[in-house]
Amino acid sequence: MTVDKKLSAKWHRGYGVSRHKCKSDSQDTTSRIHSRATFETYSSNCHRFMSWIESNHSECNNIYQASNYIPDYLNKMKDEGLSAYSQKTMLSALNKLYEGTKIGDTIQDRMSRPDKYPDYQTDERHRADIVRSRELESVHMQAIERSPEVVQFIRDTGLRRSEMLNLRGDDYRKTETSIEVHVSQGKGGKERWVPVAPENAQNVLKAFENVPPEARVFDSIDKNMPCHALRSEYAMNLYNSVARPVDSLPSKDKYHCRKDLQGVVLDKQAMKHVSRALGHERVEVFASNYYRK
């Protein structure tokens, strides 16, 4: 099938290649998919779109004719009550499918021009609509009870599931007051050192005890582990440890939250520190995804 062929080709071109390095070296990223998770997500979204096309527009002979019905499919998602985040993921998946073609340029252009192309715009996204791993359910609580050492490690380091599974026995270093954990390939293929609060250093070091340098620290992590909720705890603790009193900050160092956090003012410098520790480049990611009142 053309969908599989096109996406697989981009996945194979991007596999093992750092997206961050490609962007830094001004290399082409449109012809690559760098993450397996992204490939699987985009593939399932594109297949759902094509299945809908087969059922509702059988007159389409190829994927290029199918692109004419992207706005109709987006409206269908809205009518079914799918979140703005799901809508955006779908458009991003189709954009990657058609990327590098004239149609791909058209999708990207229309997504970025809401005044002229309202039929290519998703619903507005709000923090309150993000539910995955944010509110703990019974399956999450059971996972927490089964693996208390994993829970504590995430709370102390803020690492993602994939980053923990890639940890090796020598992926840490001591600092003057604590330790840092080494992430060899995090979000976007980027390397980083994660700061650990001094009071949590011994907890983290226990995970590395008796683990040979090249051996995995964690062999597996429960699929129901609420990683994002635990990472948020790390993020808030780190922010509170470095944030300055906002009343004493100059305007340029203040971040004024919007939408459902309107009225909250945060320390930009502390936000930047936390975002980088979590593997993000954009300062506002802390406010939009991790900050809790």
pLDDT attached to residue 29: 66
170 by Cβ neighbours in 10 Å (0-12 / 13-18 / 19+) ranks as middle
**Given this model, what pLDDT does residue 34 score?**
84
Mean pLDDT of 259-270: 92
**Poorest-confidence range of 110-124, 144-158, 195-209?**
110-124
49-53, 266-270, 288-292: lowest mean pLDDT where? 288-292
User: How far is Cα 175 from Cα 113, in angstroms, rounded to an integer?
Assistant: 48
Chain-wide mean pLDDT for the chain?
89
- Indicate the range of 26-35, 37-46, 53-62, 198-207 predicted with least confidence: 26-35
Of 112-126, 148-162, 207-221, 269-283, the one with minimum mean pLDDT is 112-126
Q: What is the CATH number of domain 138-290?
A: 1.10.443
pLDDT per position as a tens digit, 174-206: 999 999 999 998 887 789 999 999 999 999 999
Give me the count of residues in the chain.
Answer: 293
CATH 1.10.443 domain locations along the chain: 138-290
pTM of the model: 0.67
Alpha carbons 15 and 208: distance in angstroms, whole number: 29
